A and B are shown apart, each in its own frame.
Chain A
């Protein structure tokens, strides 16, 4: 039986690797996901063979409950909310790793036996990393859903507090590992400290950087899973956890370099930057506001080449179909229309491509940042729908800005700029956009993305 389980675990690990491999190309990606899911099924079924009837019932109940919760949520989530649900699923995974570690620790404690250094060390590794991932993911979820703690939160002495909490948590863990006094209390302190640390770690980070944080927490949960594999001497946990930990780290690095945002800056830079941004606000500056008719006339008579910049607001309003319709309408009038897709448009890499593909926009019209930026200078009008941070020139010009260094779409090089936006409220990173106040160039259409675009479509047809 033991041999059979081991072989099944090996098969599962190979299926995971093959699955990830297939996910590298759009053509095979779907099958890759299925291959990985089959691997998971193999591993779970193989483990069931070790269970007696009573545990089988408990496990069955737990899996049934979790599967229903997971399946129902995953099916209901709108595409626009994908990032936060990835965060949520990641969080429960981290939570599971922490619980496993705590349960194993408690069992050792009850038995009064010495776990040995390696077991205790990996127990705490799994417990601490899992808890950070759990609490951090919950905060990321809350931020992206805009339920709680949205925006970048910072306060004086934040770094000192973080260091203190980390020190207490690690100290308590160290005490329990070397067999110091009050092991159970130490474990609880370490656990609570790690949860707190997870919260503190994510709250100062602004929404624009959240995808990278989620990716990093994903890698953390992988490491926690690998550590719990050492605790339980289970090979499939070690292999899969290490696989995710490593691939997740590389993915995080790739994402952050695609955004020109070094990890260090994201994780530790937010604290100072947030304080600087608060000044200079509070004054009403004039903007040129226009109606849908004004925008329609501008596109009809003053623009032969148009670039659309879709952003998160477009995704939220489900306005991708309206945008595609406006594209076809303008093309029928002999104008050229392109789409500029920022690497994090819609908050996650690839998110906007997915939504526009859904609205039947041909893939060749979707241009990446590097490809489209030289084109703006020869463009008559840029229509920005529900985006702000990704076109904010202060990323390029203002060294003190929280999004400084982030590559942006150089829409300010175009002749005219139209923002379709609900209000002047700053974008997700919580910073103002100087482009709003360029009254000669910029026209603001204050509207929800869908209503606004539909108004513009009607205006272009009628004018």
Chain B
């Protein structure tokens, strides 16, 4: 248990360091898409919700787990699609203007 915990804490600390490092120099233009993408990534709670549903059955946990799965899936799918739509807007940028009129 303690060794398990220790390795989990190690993983946590390393992930925090990487998270800090990743956002060192980002143009403000990308702040919103970046926020939206990390928003989709914490949709990983979906995996947690699935584990709850897979675990031992009792009516309340089942219901809570199911709702959590729905919520998690909304977070993941909605998050990635919204980010993609935002980034789609940047694609028109390098094109010469006047093409679409």
Contact = CB atoms under 8 A, between A and B. Distances in A.
A236 interface: yes
A414 interface: no
Interface stretch (A222-230, A265-273, A402-410, A449-457): A222-230
Contacts of B69: 58-59, 62-63, 66, 96
A258 interface: yes
Nearest to B89: A354
A347 B71 CA distance: 26
Contacts of B16: 242-243, 245-246
A73 B30 CA distance: 22
Interface in B24-80: 25-56, 58, 60-62, 64-80
Interface stretch (A21-29, A147-155, A382-390): A21-29
B80 A225 contact: no
Contact of B45 (A12, A30, A228): A228
A40 B41 contact: yes
Query: Which of A65, A237, A251 lies at the interface centre, i.e. has the most chain B CB atoms within 10 A of its CB?
Result: A251
B57 to A, nearest CB: 8
Main secondary structure of the interface of A (DSSP, over half): helix
Contacts of B18: 17, 243, 246
A74 B82 contact: yes
Interface of A: 12-13, 16-17, 19-21, 23-26, 29-30, 32-34, 36-37, 39-40, 43-44, 47-48, 50-52, 55, 58-59, 61-67, 69-71, 73-75, 77, 79, 82-83, 85-86, 88-90, 92-93, 95-97, 99-100, 102-104, 106-107, 110, 116, 118, 211, 214-215, 218, 221-222, 224-226, 228-248, 250-251, 254-255, 258, 343, 348-351, 353-355, 357-358, 360-363, 368
Contacts of A354: 86, 89-90
Given A33-B37, A74-B85, A222-B41, 19 more contacts: A26-B29, A30-B90, A40-B43, A69-B74, A70-B73, A83-B32, A89-B78, A93-B72, A240-B42, A243-B38, A246-B20, A251-B26, A254-B31, A350-B29, A350-B30, A357-B92, A357-B93, A360-B99, A360-B100
Contacts of A250: 19-20, 23
Nearest to A24: B26
Contact of A66 (B42, B71, B93): B71
A348 B49 contact: no
Contact of A244 (B11, B19, B51): B19
A222 B83 CA distance: 17
A363 B42 CA distance: 32
A93 B32 contact: no
A111 to B, nearest CB: 8
A247 B29 contact: no
Main secondary structure of the interface of B (DSSP, over half): helix
Contacts of A214: 35
Contacts of B28: 254-255, 258, 343, 349-350, 368
A18 to B, nearest CB: 10
A244 B41 contact: yes
Nearest to A87: B39
Contacts of B89: 79, 354-355, 357-358
Contacts of B50: 44, 47-48, 51, 59
A215 B66 CA distance: 27
Contact of A23 (B34, B46, B49, B71): B34
Contacts of A361: 97
A19 B54 contact: no
B87 A30 contact: yes
A240 B41 CA distance: 7
A63 B61 contact: no
Nearest to A110: B58
Contacts of B78: 69-71, 73-74, 85, 88-89
A350 B33 contact: yes
Given A58-B62, A62-B69, A254-B26, A37 B45 contact: no
A355 B62 CA distance: 44
B71 A99 contact: yes
A246 B19 contact: yes
Contacts of A33: 33, 37, 40, 80, 83-84, 87
Contacts of A29: 30, 33, 87, 90
Given A89-B78, A89-B82, A116-B1, A37 B66 contact: no
Nearest to A363: B93
A225 B37 CA distance: 15
Contact of B40 (A24, A36, A47): A36
A251 B35 contact: yes
B11 to A, nearest CB: 5
Contacts of B41: 16, 19-20, 36, 39-40, 222, 240, 243-244
